[in-house]
C-alpha cells in the first residue's frame, strides 16, 4: 500500500483505483474517511466509509474505479458529501454487510498470503526475474536481479524496463507476442542467457516475464563441460546407433507439440498416458493439424521408441498395391514382383509403431484384413503360405467422421471399435489461436536455421493480422506462409504489408467497403494467386531435389523432408 501514502505520510486513494482496493484499504487501516487525489496528486474530494458501503449495497462492481463512482453520483458535489435526501443504505441489512466485510477480509488475507509467498519464491530464486505490464512498466523484480544490476527494488518498480535493464527486448516481446528462449543479452558488457515470455489473457498480451537464467555465459560453459564429461560414452553409443539406423536421426517427442493453450496441455497429458500402454490410438482432426507429429510423439515416448516408426498414407497408395505395401509379398506373387520378395509395412514396424494415416480412405476389403492383423497380431505376405507373428503398436489418423461413415456402411464398425480405444482429437488452429505466436516463432527459427538465414521478427501489426486469420489449412498452411515470408521478405522485420494477399484480403476488403460480388471476386482471385505461387515454388523444389539426387525418389523425399508416398502424390499432381 506504499502507493497510497502521500508525502506527509497520510493515507490517500487515487481516482483510478477500484472500489475493491478502497474497501481493502478501509478494512486494513480501519479508517472512516480517505482523501482522493488526481494524477497530479491534488486532493479532489474525500471518500467516506458510508459512501463505500452504499456502493457495496447498491451492488456496484468491485472493479469499478472511484472516478466512475464519482461520475455515477453527479448529484453530489464530491464523493463523501451526500445531499440530505440521498437514499439510505437499504438494500442490504447490517448483518449482510458485516458478512460481506468479513468475507472481503478473508479474501484479503488469502491474497496477502499468496503475495507474500510469491515474493519469497521470487527472492529465493537464483535466476533474475522481472515482470512488466502491457506498457513495459516494471511491476515486480526479484532480489537476484536487483543485486546483479546494483539497484534497489523501489528504484526499478514503476519505471519502463528499458530504463532499468540494458539491451532488453521485453518491450519488443510485448509487441510481437512471441516468446524468446535462450537468447544472449549483453548487460554491463557481459553476455547473459535470458528468456522472455509474453503473458496472454483473452487473446491479448497483458505483460511479459524476463528470466535471467545464468549470471554469465561462463557458467553455461562450465555446465556444458561437466555434461560433456559425463555423456561421452553415451554420445559414442548414440553415434553408433545412428550409423546403424540413419532414419532415426530426427527425434520427435512432447517438445514437438508446440503450443500453450489449455487444449494442447490436455493433449500432451493424453500423449503421456497413451504412451504407457500398447493400446491402439485414433487421432482425429482437420487436415494439416499435425496428426503425424502427434503420432511420432506417442511413439518416441513409448516402450516402442527403440523400434521403427513406419508411416503409411492409405489415401496415397493405389488399391491394387495397398495389400502388398502393408503385408509384403513373396517372390513371384504377381507380375513385376521383386526377386526375393519384399517385407511389408507391418513387418518393418515389428517392435515399433505403424502409423496408418487417412485410415478413412482405406477400401472395405482391406479393412477386413487390417482388422484380422490387429486381432491376431499375425500377417501373411501376398503369395505366401506362412503367417508371421508381429508386435506392432498401431496408431491411426483421419480427417473424416468415422462414426458417420460407419452409419453409411462406408467403414467397418468392428474395425472402428478396434481402432477407437484411445481417442485424441486435435482442434483446428482457429480454435486455439493463442498457440499461433508460439507456432510462428518455432517454425520461423527452424526454417531460418535450415536455410542458414538470420531469424526474422514479426511486428505487432503483422502478428495481429496473423492472429485474426482463420487458417483453413491449419499448421501446414502456417508453415508454408512462414517459409514464403523467409524467402520473400528482405530485412529482419516482417511488416503487415509483407503478408500474403490471401491473408490481408479480409482487412483490405473491410477497409474499402467493396460490394459483395466484388468481395467474392477479389477473395477468389487472391486465393488462387496464392495457391499458384505456393504450387510453383513447391514444384521447383521437387524438381531441384530430383536433379540433385539423380532421380532417386527415396533420396529426394528425404531431402525434402516428406514421406515417399507424399512425394509420389505430388509428382502426380505436378505431372513430373
Burial grade of 133 (CB within 10 A; 0-12, 13-18, 19 or more):
middle
Q: Considering only the top CATH level, what class is 125-219?
A: alpha beta
Please state, rounded to an integer, the average pLDDT across all residues of the chain: 78
Burial grade of 115 (CB within 10 A; 0-12, 13-18, 19 or more):
exposed
CATH 3.30.450.20 segments of the chain: 125-219
Q: Confirm if 344 and 379 have CB atoms less than 8 A apart.
A: yes
Q: Confirm if 61 and 50 have CB atoms less than 8 A apart.
A: no
CA distance 273 to 281: 11
Instruction: Kindly tell me if the per-residue pLDDT of 132 is higher than 50.
Output: yes
Distance of CA 90 to the CA centre of its chain: 51
Half-sphere exposure of 17 (CA within 13 A, CB side): 20
Instruction: Kindly tell me if the per-residue pLDDT of 401 is higher than 80.
Output: yes
Average pLDDT score over residue span 210-227:
62
Average pLDDT score over residue span 346-358:
91
Average pLDDT score over residue span 119-125:
74
Res 554: pLDDT = 80
Instruction: Kindly tell me if the per-residue pLDDT of 23 is higher than 70.
Output: yes
Cβ contacts of residue 349 below 8 Å, gap of 6+? 307, 308, 309, 310, 390, 392, 393
Instruction: Kindly tell me if the per-residue pLDDT of 196 is higher than 70.
Output: yes
- DSSP code, position 333: S
Res 334: pLDDT = 59
pLDDT band at 353 (very low <50, low <70, confident <90, very high): very high
What number of other Cβ atoms are within 10 A of residue 47's Cβ?
27
Contacts of 447-454 spanning 24+ positions with Cβ under 8 A: 447/479, 447/482, 447/483, 447/486, 448/486, 451/486, 451/487, 453/486, 454/492
CATH 3.40.50.300 segments of the chain: 254-427
Give the residue with greater pLDDT, 95 vs 508: 95
End-to-end Cα, the chain, rounded Å: 72
CATH 3.90.1280.20 segments of the chain: 2-114
Q: Confirm if 429 and 475 have CB atoms less than 8 A apart.
A: yes
SS (H, E, C) 363-397: CHHHHHHHHHHHHHCEEECECCCCEEECCCEEEEE
Q: Which CATH architecture has domain 432-573?
A: Orthogonal Bundle (1.10)
CA distance 96 to 434: 41
> Which residue in 463, 540, 476 sits closest to 503, CA to CA?
463
Partnered with residue 493 across adjacent β-strands are 457
Average pLDDT score over residue span 234-241:
56
- DSSP code, position 308: -
Q: Confirm if 453 and 267 have CB atoms less than 8 A apart.
A: no
Res 70: pLDDT = 67
- DSSP code, position 393: E
Q: Considering only the top CATH level, what class is 2-114?
A: alpha beta
pLDDT per residue over 417-473, tens digit each?
999 999 999 999 999 988 999 899 889 988 988 888 888 889 989 998 999 899 999
CA distance 84 to 368: 87
Average pLDDT score over residue span 148-172:
89
Helix (H, G, I), strand (E, B) or coil at 460: helix
Strands 393-398 and 353-357: parallel
Instruction: Please provide the size of the chain in residues.
Output: 576
Partnered with residue 200 across adjacent β-strands are 205
CA distance 79 to 71: 9
What is the percent of the chain with per-residue pLDDT over 90, rounded to a whole number? 23
Q: Angle 287-293-298 (CA atoms, 0-180°, nearest 5)?
A: 125
Question: DSSP labels for 218-236?
Answer: HHHHHHHHHHHHHHHHHHH
Give the phi and the psi of residue 470 in degrees, each rounded to 5: -85, -15
- pTM: predicted TM-score of the whole model, two decimal places: 0.55
Q: Confirm if 162 and 156 have CB atoms less than 8 A apart.
A: no
Cβ contacts of residue 256 below 8 Å, gap of 6+? 293, 296, 297
Q: What is the CATH number of domain 254-427?
A: 3.40.50.300
- Supply the Cα-derived Rg of the chain in whole angstroms: 32
Helix (H, G, I), strand (E, B) or coil at 120: helix
CA distance 186 to 169: 11
pLDDT per residue over 517-551, tens digit each?
444 443 444 444 445 656 666 777 788 778 777 78
Amino acid at each position: 500500500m506504499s502507493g497510497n501514502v502521500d508525502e506527509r505520510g497520510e493515507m490517500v486513494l487515487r481516482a483510478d483505483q477500484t472500489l475493491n482496493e478502497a474497501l481493502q484499504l478501509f478494512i486494513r487501516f480501519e479508517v472512516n474517511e480517505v482523501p482522493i487525489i488526481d494524477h497530479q496528486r491534488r486532493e479532489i474530494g474525500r471518500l467516506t466509509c458510508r459512501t463505500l458501503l452504499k456502493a457495496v449495497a447498491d451492488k456496484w462492481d468491485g472493479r469499478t474505479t472511484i472516478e466512475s463512482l464519482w461520475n455515477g453520483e453527479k448529484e453530489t458535489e464530491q464523493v463523501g458529501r451526500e445531499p440530505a435526501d440521498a437514499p439510505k443504505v437499504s438494500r442490504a441489512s447490517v448483518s449482510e454487510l458485516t458478512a460481506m466485510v468479513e468475507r472481503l477480509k478473508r479474501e484479503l488475507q488469502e491474497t496477502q498470503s499468496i503475495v507474500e509467498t510469491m515474493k519469497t519464491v521470487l527472492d529465493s530464486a537464483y535466476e533474475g526475474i522481472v515482470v512488466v505490464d502491457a506498457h513495459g512498466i516494471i511491476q515486480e523484480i526479484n532480489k537476484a536481479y536487483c543485486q546483479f544490476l546494483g539497484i534497489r527494488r523501489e528504484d526499478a518498480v514503476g519505471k519502463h524496463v528499458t530504463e532499468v535493464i540494458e539491451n532488453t527486448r521485453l518491450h519488443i516481446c510485448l509487441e510481437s507476442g512471441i516468446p524468446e528462449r535462450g537468447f544472449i543479452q549483453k548487460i554491463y558488457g557481459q553476455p547473459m542467457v535470458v528468456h522472455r515470455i509474453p503473458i496472454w489473457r483473452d487473446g491479448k498480451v497483458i505483460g511479459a516475464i524476463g528470466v535471467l537464467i545464468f549470471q554469465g555465459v561462463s557458467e553455461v560453459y562450465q555446465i556444458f563441460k561437466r555434461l560433456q564429461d559425463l555423456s561421452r560414452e553415451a554420445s559414442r553409443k548414440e553415434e553408433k546407433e545412428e550409423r546403424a539406423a540413419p532414419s532415426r536421426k530426427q527425434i520427435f517427442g512432447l517438445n514437438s507439440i508446440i503450443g500453450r493453450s489449455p487444449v494442447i496441455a490436455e493433449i500432451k497429458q493424453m500423449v503421456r498416458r497413451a504412451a504407457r500402454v500398447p493400446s491402439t490410438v485414433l487421432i482425429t482432426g482437420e487436415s494439416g493439424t499435425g496428426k503425424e507429429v502427434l503420432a511420432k510423439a506417442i511413439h518416441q515416448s513409448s516402450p516402442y521408441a527403440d523400434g521403427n516408426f513406419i508411416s503409411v498414407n492409405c489415401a496415397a497408395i493405389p488399391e491394387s498395391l495397398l495389400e502388398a505395401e502393408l503385408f509384403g509379398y513373396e517372390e513371384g506373387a504377381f507380375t513385376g514382383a521383386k526377386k526375393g520378395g519384399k517385407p511389408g509395412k507391418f513387418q518393418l514396424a515389428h517392435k515399433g509403431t505403424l502409423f496408418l494415416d487417412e485410415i478413412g480412405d482405406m477400401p472395405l476389403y482391406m479393412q477386413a484384413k487390417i482388422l484380422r492383423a490387429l486381432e491376431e497380431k499375425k500377417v501373411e505376405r501376398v503369395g505366401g503360405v506362412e503367417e508371421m507373428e508381429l508386435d506392432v503398436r498401431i496408431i491411426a489418423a483421419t480427417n473424416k467422421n468415422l462414426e458417420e461413415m460407419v452409419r453409411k456402411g462406408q467403414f467397418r464398425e468392428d474395425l472402428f471399435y478396434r481402432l477407437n480405444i484411445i481417442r485424441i482429437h486435435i482442434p483446428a488452429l482457429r480454435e486455439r489461436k493463442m498457440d499461433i505466436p508460439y507456432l510462428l516463432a518455432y517454425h520461423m527459427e527452424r526454417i531460418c536455421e535450415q536455410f542458414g538465414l538470420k531469424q526474422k521478427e514479426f511486428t505487432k501489426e503483422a502478428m495481429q493480422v496473423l492472429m485474426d486469420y482463420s487458417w483453413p489449412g491449419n499448421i501446414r498452411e502456417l508453415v508454408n506462409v512462414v517459409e514464403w515470408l523467409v524467402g520473400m521478405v528482405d530485412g529482419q522485420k516482417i511488416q503487415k504489408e509483407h503478408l500474403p494477399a490471401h491473408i490481408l484480403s479480409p482487412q483490405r476488403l473491410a477497409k474499402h467497403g467493396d460490394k459483395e460480388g466484388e468481395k467474392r471476386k477479389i477473395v477468389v482471385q487472391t486465393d488462387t494467386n496464392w495457391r499458384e505461387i505456393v504450387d510453383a515454388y513447391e514444384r521447383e523444389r521437387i524438381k531441384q531435389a530430383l536433379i540433385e539426387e539423380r532421380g532417386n525418389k527415396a533420396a529426394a523425399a528425404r531431402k525434402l523432408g516428406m514421406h515417399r508416398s507424399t512425394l509420389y502424390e505430388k509428382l502426380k499432381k505436378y505431372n513430373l
